[in-house]
Structure 1
């Protein structure tokens, strides 16, 4: 296993999709050893960059050099439930060779296959236990069993274990905490911290990003490295933006000042021109002398005007450069007064409702409560939200599912929103979309072309513009697959929402940000309110 010298070098990296969409054009950068968080907006190319480093994609030009073996854990991992655990972990062949060696029938090929992995079974079981997968593998004998049906979190952790057992030098993780409950997130973060090589993590999970040693920002096709974790990165960016805003204010003031001075210079020139014309008309001096003075005055006036125009042009160029230094910071702005829920108003009532996951559910929600629905993966939180939607809601509601599969994918964003609000005018639809940052051509894009963050904004626009608007909003793991700016947009939208809110999420920081007032935990027996 390589240690601190491990790094990744990108040289003139160029890549476009088959439809001609350019992702990188001449990207050159180096990612050092240790733990690096890779951040950037949805659609900036983070997942594409990981796939290029892993060799899953080939660049059009340039090179990627990783010092040592690379393992890549994709964002949407799927596993065949009919496979045995050891096959998924990639250790089935080694186990077969070990079995033949132990029985005295081992060949040279078996010894070569085992190499130094004599303890592979013990390491596999130990790693699975450290990641909380005791249900799947209790002991070495369970490596022979098929995995059966797995939750999304279990799939991720099993895939993560498989990558660790290969002992790579470079580990690439794409949104590894999606679908993980709080405990599993902590176990995965600990395993990442113990990894001795280079780790590059794409994540919106701020708690995981806080454990990184450096942060790499992918922005407009360029990769920039910052020392320190996500908080340090934010502080450096904010300091730069404060300086950029000051430079922008100075540049704007300079443009105004240079504009005034140009006008004042023109007034002086016009005044001198009128005075000179009077002298010329009076013929108080010989014609040749007056002609020379006139030409001299014209040259001086032209030089004066030119100097001021040059200064104004330079000030405008400085202003343009200062504007380029300001990061786009658009905010979602919603104001849907019809979503108001008043104190004491009954919003949800479930009494003795039997869930498909087996629990009996009793739940009362009154007024504009903001409820966090928590519980381990696979316990039935999605089922509980569906039960509330089907039986318990007493006011107009909307349920935002994990997969955001509420659209006609081939239709535009504007078409989908209009379909949810058939009585709204085209102007109202466009105005509503603009509040969710879909303006002009963006509103006419087909839903299938949207990134994760864009899909979320489109879904929020769709349900908030619906007729009637929801007084109860239920969100199922809404932060999965969101970049950090999109996560900020979601928080902005929910801060301004006036109805009742029920959110199933493992993201503790997100729940704090949206002002949760109650926490309900779902377990095998039902739902319990916790402090």
Structure 2
């Protein structure tokens, strides 16, 4: 199986900002997990490799048959499942041939795949679909099911290379497991962007895109983390060593200056006892000697400072959201939310009682009604039956991060939700969410995914009144692993009650949950 090769690949945004330049990489057989911060260019690189986006310069060499699953999958609701699977035209040709109306073009379209319908049904069955009607419209299935069907279409096309961009977004636990198993069985080059730590444990290597450069680490994500920690510990030791060397060189420079100063004072004191011409000669020699000595020490200090800067550059930023949210605290035992025999339009029946700083996960298969439950709690939609009793100020972080208006600046948007706070206070608070002075005066629509996420989270947590119940709907979708760590740190600092809809089990494990609401149709 031929490899996928990038040669001197570069891409520059229309505004002149470079994403990466002179990128050389080879993606061989096996699965490669592509990781990196939001905005580092992962999806851009995948689009270039797929032929969906032309590079600014450089080239991509490799197989021509490439299967590409984009992150934002857009499917017209009236398309049939057969169309999404890429078999509609061939199945229609089969019907014509079977009816005795086939033409040469129909035979060419069918090729040797006379059992294409059976092959298609077998493929989708491996991904959890049974008894599927291929004439069904894609608009009648959930978003997660649509992703799986699009993935099945890639497998049916039998490409030489698979490119997947966040393939497990919006998939429930069962669907994630089925897709992961399909990835395990794939033979040939496979490159996928993902923040799903469980999926990344199935890969043969990790490719990290950082500061416009690609680095490869053998093994799954856990091996990458271990290698990175060893590297970073060595970098931190180098910083300590370089810092100590700089301080030593600075002390020696100060001591040298003190010695020179004493020598000059002594020379002045002795100048009156010797002839002027001799004194001037000694003065010139002393100045030359002092200059050399001083220059040598200053050069040593400068070199030590450069070594320290280089060592510091090798240490990665450990940027985590660090906040004090005492205003959100809920006393233990205080009633927060009561759900009494609530029936959703999906037929699910829910009863629950949240008290104090409970941290509850809402889990269940795609389409069961998790987002519908959130709408019922917040009053955005009424349940079919039952009672919802919400007793504390509540805020919701939706999947699409629509908390702030794209046209307003971050500072203006947060100020709108916290009207009594002055700008200086908000600037200081936003800095704790890793949003600097330049970022908070930009329109929300211009932010990167990670910046928009932090701005949305800040807007909710700083809002008035302070939210004592925070509801998050699939918060880790489309977040890089650094942003997931930042979200986890922020939520662990949050002192109110928490209700989280998520299929991301490692993320939920890090939240120190106190319980779960499992949605199912009884």
Give yes or no for TM over 0.5: yes
Match of 1:326 among 286, 290, 315: 315
Q: Secondary structure at the match of 1:189?
A: helix
5+ long unaligned stretches in structure 2: 380-387
Match of 1:10 among 6, 9, 29: 6
In structure 2, the partner of 1:442 is: 439
- The answer to whether structure 1 residue 451 and structure 2 residue 448 are counterparts is yes
In structure 2, the partner of 1:41 is: 37
Question: What's the TM-score, normalizing by structure 2?
Answer: 0.95
Q: Secondary structure at the match of 2:516?
A: strand
Aligned-pair RMSD on alpha carbons? 1.5
In structure 2, the partner of 1:82 is: 78
Contact persistence 1:370–1:502 (CA under 8 A): yes
Contact persistence 2:138–2:146 (CA under 8 A): no
Question: What's the TM-score, normalizing by structure 1?
Answer: 0.94
Match of 2:262 among 266, 271, 283: 271
Contact persistence 1:13–1:26 (CA under 8 A): yes
In structure 2, the partner of 1:224 is: 215
Structure 1 residues 114-162: Cα deviation after superposition (integer angstroms, max 9, x where no partner): 223233222211111111123xxx15xx223333422110110011011
Distance 1:102 1:204 in 2: 47
Structure 1 residues 376-429: Cα deviation after superposition (integer angstroms, max 9, x where no partner): 001001111121222431111111111111211111111110000111111221
- The answer to whether structure 1 residue 122 and structure 2 residue 118 are counterparts is yes
Q: Secondary structure at the match of 1:35?
A: strand
Q: Secondary structure at the match of 1:392?
A: strand
Matches within 5 A, 1:37-186: 37-134=33-130, 138=131, 142-186=133-177
- The answer to whether structure 1 residue 209 and structure 2 residue 206 are counterparts is no
In structure 2, the partner of 1:340 is: 329
- The answer to whether structure 1 residue 292 and structure 2 residue 275 are counterparts is no
Shift of 1:290: 3.5
- The answer to whether structure 1 residue 397 and structure 2 residue 394 are counterparts is yes
Contact persistence 1:53–1:66 (CA under 8 A): no
Contact persistence 1:413–1:443 (CA under 8 A): yes
In structure 1, the partner of 2:382 is: none
Match of 1:387 among 362, 370, 376: 376
- The answer to whether structure 1 residue 415 and structure 2 residue 412 are counterparts is yes
Structure 1 residues 268-289: Cα deviation after superposition (integer angstroms, max 9, x where no partner): 1111112222222212xx4444
Contact persistence 2:403–2:459 (CA under 8 A): no
Q: Secondary structure at the match of 1:144?
A: coil
Shift of 1:97: 2.6
Shift of 1:68: 4.2
Q: Secondary structure at the match of 1:441?
A: coil
Q: Secondary structure at the match of 2:316?
A: coil
Contact persistence 2:201–2:222 (CA under 8 A): yes
Shift of 1:78: 2.1
- Between 331-340 and 347-356, the greater mean CA deviation after superposition: 347-356
In structure 1, the partner of 2:403 is: 406
Distance 1:243 1:216 in 2: 21
Matches within 5 A, 1:504-519: 504-519=501-516
In structure 1, the partner of 2:301 is: 312
Contact persistence 1:78–1:155 (CA under 8 A): no
Distance 1:133 1:81 in 2: 19
Shift of 1:54: 0.5
